[in-house]
Structure 1
């Protein structure tokens, strides 16, 4: 342990040193230490900003993942449509299948020569 005295100058150095490790203030507060109000506001503000930044990052990642999942599901359905066995379909199912294929062709700009 380092030498620490409670004289004014040493206390300022202690505060300056502790400002570099704001997470330790939480432990000290729980043990009954009193902090200067400006230091409390600074530590809380720093942690709040960090927490908001992390939360935004998580939310952006979650939104991107959800969009990717939707895209993958859409691609899977399109592949099922393209690979469907029409020989086992009845006339009404074939008409519906052809309409769905036309929608896909328009979506992707496919053209077919008859």
Structure 2
């Protein structure tokens, strides 16, 4: 009996056995009401997480759309500046070194530029 009581004492004071008791508590099945409550809470958390994720995705898509719009606007400005540069080169080109065909094409380009900007060019 003495050996038996020492085993019981050791059993009660052993830290490993206390961990086993906690595992038993954790591993135990919960009641039906507690299970329903846990499911409801989990469902609400999932819904909230889903809503916030959708909101974040929507915000990211809006930012991306704005950035793409800015890129398009910058590219349009770049193209317009290049077009103006070309027009300036045409306007200020030295015609003295052009052959007759080049002068004719230059004159047509000048007329197109004048028409684009509403300039009146006298003959």
Instruction: Give the TM interval when normalised to the shorter protein.
Output: 0.5 to 0.7
Q: After the TM superposition, which parts of structure 1 deviate over 6 Å for at least 4 consecutive aligned residues?
A: none
SS at match of 2:122: coil
Q: What pairs up with 1:65-104 in 2 under 5 angstroms? A: 65-104=74-113
Q: What pairs up with 1:1-114 in 2 under 5 angstroms? A: 36-114=45-123
Choose 1 or 2 for highest CA Rg: 2
Richer in helix (by share): 2
TM-superposed deviation, 1:52: 0.9
User: What are the superposed Cα offsets for residues 35-69 of structure 1, whole Å, 9 maximum, x if unpaired?
Assistant: 82112112211211111111111111011011101
Count of residue pairs brought into register by the alignment: 80
Q: Provide the rounded CA distance (Å) in 1 between the counterparts of 2:55 and 2:89.
A: 51
List alignment gaps of at least 5 residues for structure 2: 1-43
List alignment gaps of at least 5 residues for structure 1: 1-34
TM-score by length of 2: 0.61
TM-score by length of 1: 0.65
Q: Tell me: higher relative CO, structure 1 or 2? Use CA pairs within 8 A at least 6 residues apart.
A: 1
TM-superposed deviation, 1:112: 2.5
